[in-house]
Structure 1
Amino acid sequence: MSAYLLVHAESDREYLRGPGDELQTDLGVLEVPDDVEHGQVLETHLGEPFHVRRLRGPDLFNHFQRTGAPMMPRDIGLVIGHTGAQSGDRVLDAGTGTGVLSGYLGRLGANVTTYEIDAEFAENARENMSMAGVSDRVDVRTGDLTDNLDELAEGDSFDLITLDTADAAEVVARAPELLVPGGYVAVYTPFVEDARDTELAAREAGLGGVETLETIQRELTVDDRGTRPSTAGVGHTGYLLFARRVE
């Protein structure tokens, strides 16, 4: 069952809790009813109000238990926008990590099979999928995707492959065996050398529409003096490769 976001509007504090859970903070103790609904206002024993909100994608990024640096929402948005990921899609994913991308896709209605090589990371991702309410659509498997490519290639084809692994080029090379005609592959890589390797692998595999993008985003600073790009923070997150089985 999906958790809910409990928001204390005055302090901007947010917590994820499911029906029947207990929240303990310096604002008091709050018991979440089994029949809690979106839009309710619950009060702690000290009378502090918390607004109940239904989870949305960015809440997964902000509140999942992390096992590393998850993919940023802006990069996930590009993956969804460039591939047209949608309800009913069969998705093959690798490098689950925290599971933010898998959670987003699951909440879109896609059926995701995702591989995580680290057993502890995989177990944490399963707990996150339960919190997101998508355990029935996201199958988190412990293991190396590259060890399972032959078996997967003999099964039903996938509409989309998403990768965030150092050996992504090896999987991209076999994408035509795994994808439906017109299916997409999307690869996130933090290093330009890996981005080059995946693009070359996509071309060699005969995939079409091959493109690699660097994702850069800058926040605007708006004040009484005027508006300009912020000088704080790093605008670059990584590189995204997109390609498509054309035949």
Structure 2
Amino acid sequence: MEDDTDPTGDAETEPGDDGGRIPVLLVRDDREFLIEPGEEMGTDLGVLDVPDDVESGDTIPTHLGEAFTVRRLRGPDLFHHFERTGAPMVPRDIGLVIGETGIARGDRVLDAGTGTGVLAASMARAGASVVTYERDPDFADVARTNMALGGVTEDVDVRTGDVREEIETLEPSSFDVLTLDTGDAASIVSHAPDLLVEGGFVAVYSPFIESTRAVVEAAREVELSNVRTRETIQREMQFDDRGSRPSTAPVGHTGYLTIARNV
């Protein structure tokens, strides 16, 4: 569901904002190690020494002769390997946001509630230019580090602060999409007609019904169109010798996604 387009080029050769290189994944069976080119890492299968000119598909043995395969970071890998400052948006919900709003190369996105930054990075990897606001300075610093890991530092502007206090400084009708993952999203949705281009989209994620209802009411109040909310839920399938059925594991609810349009 996630768009894995990487507008920055090969992840293993792009520099990070600290002058280093984008780490690559070294994979063997169920083991994955994130290592920067030119570095080495000790593992339970021996020491991995990653050359500077490493490329996807290379095979690198440990000093004990155990082979690992080099893999470039793809979109879903960001969810697993970004440093976390909370619960990040899961890949299926990111896919819904991108699919429902049509985020693509050349779009400009205003995002609030950066958190870990998985959504912002994924939208940038789909080709968008993202301005994202995070209130917590420490969380914002982590998000900037994660943008470097995702190879999208040039495409994501992580700003520390409350977007509600900055709305007056933002150019009117300059964003194609507004994405919100904050408890006070309804108060920001009220400004959507001023922030969005004609035909632009709002996408709001919330784990709670109460805040979702407030978002829907705010969207209707400012006359956004096509306002709709879906619960994001997914069940894994179980296949064994007895037969096939949905897994008996807990129901896969993550939250509620509200989409509206500035038409």
Give CA-to-partner distance per residue, 1:76-121, whole Å, 9 cap, x none.
1110110011111101101111111011111111111111111111
Q: Matches of 2:47 and 2:247 in 1, distance apart?
A: 39
Deviation of the 1:156 alpha carbon: 6.0
Structure 1: state its 5+ residue gaps: none
2:11: which partner in 1? none
Does residue 80 (structure 1) correspond to residue 98 (structure 2)? The answer is yes
Does structure 1 retain, via aligned residues, the 8 Å contact 2:97–2:203? yes
Q: Partner amino acid for 2:191? A: R
Deviation of the 1:125 alpha carbon: 0.7
Q: Matches of 1:199 and 1:120 in 2, distance apart?
A: 31
How many residues matched?
Answer: 243
Q: Could you tell me the percent identity over the aligned residues? A: 64
1:169: which partner in 2? 186
SS of residue in 2 equivalent to 1:162: strand
2:211: which partner in 1? 194
Does residue 233 (structure 1) correspond to residue 253 (structure 2)? The answer is no
Give CA-to-partner distance per residue, 1:137-193, whole Å, 9 cap, x none.
0111111111101111x3561011111001100110000110111110100001000
2:139: which partner in 1? 121
Deviation of the 1:22 alpha carbon: 2.2
Q: Matches of 1:160 and 1:16 in 2, distance apart?
A: 32
Deviation of the 1:234 alpha carbon: 3.0
SS of residue in 1 equivalent to 2:105: coil
Q: Matches of 1:5 and 1:68 in 2, distance apart?
A: 23
Q: Matches of 1:233 and 1:103 in 2, distance apart?
A: 29
Match of 2:196 among 171, 175, 179: 179
1:3: which partner in 2? 23
Structure 2: state its 5+ residue gaps: 1-14, 16-21
| TM-score normalised by structure 2 residue count | 0.90
Match of 1:206 among 223, 235, 238: 223
1:108: which partner in 2? 126
Does structure 2 retain, via aligned residues, the 8 Å contact 1:221–1:230? yes
Q: Partner amino acid for 1:6? A: L
Q: Matches of 1:196 and 1:207 in 2, distance apart?
A: 15
Q: Partner amino acid for 1:13? A: R
Does structure 2 retain, via aligned residues, the 8 Å contact 1:3–1:132? no
SS of residue in 1 equivalent to 2:55: coil
Q: Matches of 1:234 and 1:103 in 2, distance apart?
A: 27
Give CA-to-partner distance per residue, 1:58-83, whole Å, 9 cap, x none.
10001111111000111111101100
Deviation of the 1:205 alpha carbon: 1.0
SS of residue in 2 equivalent to 1:52: strand
RMSD between aligned alpha carbons?
1.1
2:110: which partner in 1? 92
Q: Partner amino acid for 1:220? A: M
Alignment of 1:28-177 (within 5 A): 28-152=46-170, 154=171, 157-177=174-194
1:18: which partner in 2? 36
Does structure 1 retain, via aligned residues, the 8 Å contact 2:172–2:194? no
Does structure 1 retain, via aligned residues, the 8 Å contact 2:173–2:198? no
